[in-house]
Amino acid sequence: MRRNFLYSIGGMLPHRLSPQVRELYWAALLQNLALAMILLFEPIYLWQQGLGVRGIILFFLGLYLAYFLIMPLGAKFATRFGYEHSMAISTIFQVIYYVSLFLVAQSYWWLVPTAFFYALQKAFYWPAYHADFARYSDSSEEGREISGLSVTLSFVYIVGPILAGLILTVGSWFWLFAAGSFILLISNWPLLRTKEVFTPRSFSYGDTYRRLFDKTMRRALLGYMGFGEELVVLVLWPVFIALIVKDYVEIGGVVAGATLLTALITLYIGKLTDEKDKRKILRWSSIFYSLSWLARLFINAPLQVFGVDSWSRLAKNIVAVPLTAITYERAQTRSVMDTVVFFEMSLVVGKITAALILLVVFSFTTAWSAAWIVAALMTLLYMLV
């Protein structure tokens, strides 16, 4: 029985990882350990500095507007100097971002460079990351490679929030940001220990925006705009959790437990994505995920937070695996960088749109339910991809 179970698990794992994807796995593992420690607590930190909901949304709106303008420059650098070099440089901007974020406690003026450095980090990291994965992944087991990485990172997101909660309980925000920065810098080692084989090419800044708003790409643009819901899950949901669950360690534990619950099912979704119709899986999983947002309307206790967060993380993983596989398939049949930049630009348009909608909504109400409804509606856009 144990052998059958292990055989089943083995069938859901990737078996033909290229050296480049293996390096990316290790680098992503270390980098996401740092992010897992801090990402959940970033909006909570801003909330504690006196920024209300609208102030936090305004900060992230500024961040994504800057990212929207800077991103093609990051892609241009990656296509000229290499994906791995671009990802390595992004960690430096991430560390500077943490320093600026820490200084927000001294003055709100630090919010401006904080948003700018975070936008730079994203611009140098995400186009290069997606292009690297799309170029070197094996098309026959792409779903398994994506879900395998997702599950590997899930275990990091189990350890990270708990570790961060402990650091904040016995230490301070300074030590949390310092620990995250140290791990981020170490994450460059897997990428830089071997020389990247790379052919430089040109990348047009202006063509990026022409492709984004081309009529033939409108359906894909609307589909990727569904990522506007991530603004809610990454920015407002942690603040809401902190209002329900008061203790830092308990907050980390709730999120870690929810992450563990979803890991093995995500592996199965990767196998399913390789064998079944990706778009069918994406359509029904988008509805399943949208319902998890509506379930938040009834939360008023820590156990309910755990249940809905588990549901939400599972549903988002089921959405993300086929959606990412579809995107990488497109990249492999067209220009890799053009495709992944379109994906990232569309995603950012979705987050900017969500921020603007939420600013209007929170001008008339302070109810968290409004944010959950906005996210539920945006989630349905994934079906268009």
Reported as a single tens digit per residue, the pLDDT across 25-45 is: 888 889 989 998 898 889 999
The tokens describing 376, both together, are 């539920």
Chain centroid, CA 317 distance in Å: 11
Residue 160 has pLDDT above 70, yes or no: yes
Query: Cα–Cα distance between 324 and 340 in angstroms, integer?
Result: 10
Calpha distance 122→35 (Å, rounded):
13
Query: Residue 343: is its pLDDT beyond 50?
Result: yes
pLDDT given for residue 10 in this prediction: 44
Average pLDDT of the segment spanning 152-178: 85
Tell me the per-residue pLDDT of 250-304, one tens digit each, with 9 for 90 and over: 666 666 666 666 666 666 666 667 677 788 889 999 999 999 999 999 998 888 8
Residue 4 has pLDDT above 60, yes or no: no
Q: Give, in degrees to the nearest 5, the angle at Cα 321 between 355 and 310.
A: 70
Do 282 and 326 meet the contact criterion of CB atoms below 8 Å apart?
A: yes
What is the 3-class SS of the chain, one letter each residue? CHHHHHHHHHHCCCCCCCHHHHHHHHHHHHHHHHHHHHHHHHHHHHHHCCCCHHHHHHHHHHHHHHHHHHHHHHHHHHHHHCHHHHHHHHHHHHHHHHHHHHHCCCCHHHHHHHHHHHHHHHHHHHHHHHHHHHHHCCHHHHHHHHHHHHHHHHHHHHHHHHHHHHHHHHCCHHHHHHHHHHHHHHCCHHHHCCCCCCCCCCCCHHHHHHHHCCHHHHHHHHHHHHHHHHHHHHHHHHHHHHHHCCCHHHHHHHHHHHHHHHHHHHHHHHHHHHHCCHHHHHHHHHHHHHHHHHHHHHCCCHHHHHHHHHHHHHHHHHHHHHHHHHHHHHHHHCCHHHHHHHHHHHHHHHHHHHHHHHHHHHHHCCCHHHHHHHHHHHHHHHHHC
How many CA atoms lie less than 13 Å away from 212 in the CB half-sphere? 23
Q: What is the pLDDT of residues 184-240, one digit of tens each?
A: 999 999 888 877 777 778 888 989 999 999 999 999 999 999 999 999 999 999 999
Pair 96, 186: CB distance under 8 Å? no
Which CATH number does 19-190+217-384 carry?
1.20.1250.20
Determine the Cα–Cα distance for residues 334 and 332; give it in Å rounded to an integer: 6
pLDDT given at position 1: 42
Q: Considering only CA atoms, which of 362, 360, 284 is closest in space to residue 322? A: 284
pLDDT at 249: 66
**pLDDT score recorded for residue 59:** 97
- pLDDT confidence tier of residue 2, bands split at 50, 70 and 90: very low
The alpha carbon dihedral of 210, 211, 217, 222 has a sign of negative
Mean pLDDT of 310-338: 86
pLDDT band for 22, please (50, 70, 90 cuts): confident
Mean pLDDT of 105-121: 96
Q: Which residues contact 57 (CB under 8 A, 6 or more apart)?
A: 231, 235, 236, 355, 358, 359, 362
Give pTM, 2 decimals.
Answer: 0.87
